[in-house]
Amino acid sequence: AQSVTQLGSHVSVSEGALVLLRCNYSSSVPPYLFWYVQYPNQGLQLLLKYTSAATLVKGINGFEAEFKKSETSFHLTKPSAHMSDAAEYFCAVSGTSYGKLTFGQGTILTVHP
C-alpha cells in the first residue's frame, strides 16, 4: 500500500523567497511520485513526476523536487516565489495500478508581496 504525508497544510512566503513544500511517502513497491498544483476552481495540473530515472526532477514553472530514498521524501522547491504561484499543491504516489494515485492532504501556498 502507498501513502503520502504533506507536512504543513499552509505555507506562506514573500515574493522572491524560497518555496519549500514537504512530502514524505510510504510505499511497499518502488514509488512513482508526482506533484500537482490546483488553482481555485480548476482541476489539477501536473508539475513534475519522478520515475527513478533521476533523483532531481525538474518541472514546469521553475519547480523541482528531489527524491531521497533514505528519508522517504520528495520535497518540492522553487528558488524564487512569484505571486502567480499561490495555489494548493498536492503530492501523490502511484504503484502498479493504472489511474490510481494516492494524494496527500495538500498544502496551500500563499505568496505575499
Site residues (vs other proteins, CB under 8 A): 32, 36, 41-46, 49, 51, 90, 92, 94-106
Q: Could you tell me the smallest distance in angstroms from the CB atom of residue 68 to other proteins? A: 19
Q: Could you tell me the smallest distance in angstroms from the CB atom of residue 53 to other proteins? A: 10
- State the DSSP string of the chain: -EEEEEE-SEEEEETTS-EEEEEEEEESS--EEEEEEE-TTS-EEEEEEE-SS-SEEE-GGG-EEEEETTTTEEEEEESS--GGG-EEEEEEEE-SSTT-EEE---EEEEEE-
Task: Report the residue number, 81 or 102, with the smaller CB distance to other proteins.
Answer: 102
Residue 54 in grid coordinates: 533521476
Q: Could you tell me the smallest distance in angstroms from the CB atom of residue 92 to other proteins? A: 8
Task: Report the residue number, 46 or 54, with the smaller CB distance to other proteins.
Answer: 46
Task: Report the residue number, 36 or 111, with the smaller CB distance to other proteins.
Answer: 36
